[in-house]
Chains A and B, each alone.
Chain A
Amino acid sequence: MYMGSLVREQLRLARRTLLLLVGTVAVLPLLFVLVPATASASVLGVPLPWLLPGVLVYPWLVLLGWRHVRRAERNERDFAELIGEASR
């Protein structure tokens, strides 16, 4: 019965990470079309449509993954402690 709580927590975490991914990365092509100014803007001479999906997206994906792994392991640890207390 405790199990349900762990699965729910992990599912909530998964949803949050995926929403972050969609909201920051998958949204870009649409953004470039709907707000043409973003497509023509550039940083240090590199246009955003090249800089964002070509370079910056990769460290961002690693960061999202790192955050997710940390939280997923914390959920599991909390759950293990809960079980430990319950069986004591």
Chain B
Amino acid sequence: MSVLAPDGIDTVPGVVAVVLVTVTTLAIGAWGLRLSRTTSDFFVASRTVHPGLNASAIGGEYLSAASFLGVAGLVLTFGADMLWYPVGWTAGYLVLLVLVAAPLRRSGAYTLPDFAEARLGSRGVRAVCSVLVVAVGWLYLLPQFMGAGITLEAAIGAPAWVGPAIVALVVLLNVTSGGMRSITFVQAFQYWLKLTALLLPAAVLLVVWAGERGTAGIPGSLDWSSPAGGGGGGQELYLTYSLIVATFLGTMGLPHVVVRFYTNPDGRAARRTTLVVLVLLGLFYLLPPIYGLLGRIYAPELVGSDRADTLVLELPRLMLPGAGGELLTGLVTAGAFAAFLSTASGLSIAVAGVLSQDVTGRAYAGRRLGGIAAFRVGAVVAVLVPATAALVSPDLGVARAVGLAFAVAASTFCPLLVLGIWWRRLTDVGAIAGLAAGGLGSGAAVAWTMAATEGRQGWADVLMSQPAAWSVPLAFLTMVLASLLTPGRVPGHTGRFLVRLHTPEELAVERGLDGHLDRSSLDSDR
């Protein structure tokens, strides 16, 4: 990648923006730290987070580099078909609300492996889930670090390694010191920062465009890429629908999203939080396409180039030369940086949580790390691996890379959660078989896509570049069939467990259904 900032460009706004976001993030984190003292706080903020705050935090955590930079770049290059990325990322929360939100909270588990173990009573399923959480988490973290590199290159002409290094450092400081509680405040703040950082420049640029309408041309260019079928035919339609499957069903399986649901006080709050999330995401996703459309007029040289992801950062400067443009550049840089920090923090917590429970928290040679120490070591591993990988891996485009993480999540955790919550005949053998089929299938597709150097040509490349449409049905089918073949392995507590998932809390407590898992294991670490 070349250094994007031409000589003589004003780097001050970018530097100021990055420093401000970093300092604010650390400051809010430190403030949360004073409130965060137990292991339980570290993982799930002791489950006392209000729906409004929690929804802002989910929004802040969820809107990543792919949303902030990637969507605008894709719309710029490929047109209206790409609107299905943000639609899917939002609709995924509706599916999560409908199928998973309340029961998952009522399960009392706080990570996906916990849920799997509690539901199926099997250490084996837990181990497979832990591996998958780490895999999905790292796959999702990779484009965040890549995006950070691109942003600092574009904004201040820094070498490509600076962005990932800064993000990794800030995330580590925050995550290891305050854990989930401080992260909740940080991320709620970062949602509103990201919204402002995209909304304000968009409004100004729209006014600029309206003023120059006569000379600059109007989006009669809107049909530069008519949606699927305009020429691409079957392949385009397959890609769109595979993307829809991956995003609609993958959201529920993202480790950093799922972990957020345990911070709701009860199942009803989990539903209401999700509803607020739908509003917040819908508001945000109105904006990136505006950048894509304006970019078509003002930044045609970025179309189809490997710099398309920098459109949001470059557009203010291109449309509004002078101090105004520099100010807006500073603002979008701040927003982009907030996007990497928040998503990377959330994912690191989720991955570190799993690592600390299943790897670093284990006893080695008779010695065992305490809860918080194990979490800190887990966090270091969780951050360093993808940050290093970001420096050496090929440039996929941030939105597409994130799309692959969704496909893996949809092919593994979606069937496990949906069948685990709604189907009483699921067995541990079925779960492992399904997770393996979906994980290996989508994993092979990811490897294929990352290894492929040239653009896609045949159906094989198309099927592998967006695997969800075949890997998700494969996983469901395998899980169901293998479960039906092993009816003797349906856990004895299945009936009781399902009752708890679907019973409103106040009734459950009355009837003595309040789970053994809830609040017991972690709080004992105090």
Residues of A whose CB lies within 8 Å of any CB of B are 3, 6-7, 10-11, 14, 17-18, 21, 25-26, 29-30, 32-33, 36, 39-40, 46-47, 49-50, 53-55, 57-59, 61-62, 64-66, 68-69, 72-73, 76, 79-80, 83
B286 touching A66, Cβ below 8 Å: no
B237 touching A53, Cβ below 8 Å: no
A32 touching B506, Cβ below 8 Å: no
B462-480, CB < 8 A from A: none
Interface of A is mostly: helix
Cβ of B68 < 8 Å from any Cβ of A?
A: no
- Minimum CB–CB distance from B247 to chain A (whole Å) comes to 11
B83 touching A53, Cβ below 8 Å: yes
Residues of B whose CB lies within 8 Å of any CB of A are 80-81, 83-84, 87, 90-91, 93-95, 97-99, 102, 222-223, 226-230, 237, 240-241, 244, 248, 268, 271-272, 274-275, 278-279, 281-283, 285-286, 289, 422, 498-499, 502-504, 506-507
B507 touching A39, Cβ below 8 Å: no
- Minimum CB–CB distance from B75 to chain A (whole Å) comes to 9
A68 touching B97, Cβ below 8 Å: yes
Residues of A within 8 A of B271 (CB): 69, 72-73
A10 touching B502, Cβ below 8 Å: yes
The 3 closest A-B pairs by CB, nearest first: A58-B282, A33-B229, A53-B83
A25 partner, pick from B91, B282, B422, beta carbons under 8 A: B91
Residues of A within 8 A of B84 (CB): 29, 53
In the complex, A42 Cα to B241 Cα: how many Å?
A: 23
A62 touching B279, Cβ below 8 Å: yes
B278 touching A57, Cβ below 8 Å: no
B498 partner, pick from A7, A30, A54, beta carbons under 8 A: A7
A58 touching B286, Cβ below 8 Å: yes
Residues of A within 8 A of B422 (CB): 7, 11, 14
Interface of B is mostly: helix
Residues of A within 8 A of B506 (CB): 80
- Minimum CB–CB distance from B157 to chain A (whole Å) comes to 33
B278 touching A33, Cβ below 8 Å: no
In the complex, A87 Cα to B292 Cα: how many Å?
A: 61
A3 touching B99, Cβ below 8 Å: no
In the complex, A68 Cα to B95 Cα: how many Å?
A: 11
Residues of A within 8 A of B279 (CB): 62
Residues of A within 8 A of B87 (CB): 25, 53, 57
In the complex, A68 Cα to B240 Cα: how many Å?
A: 26
Known interface pairs A17-B98, A59-B282. Does A49 touch B244 (Cβ–Cβ under 8 Å)? no
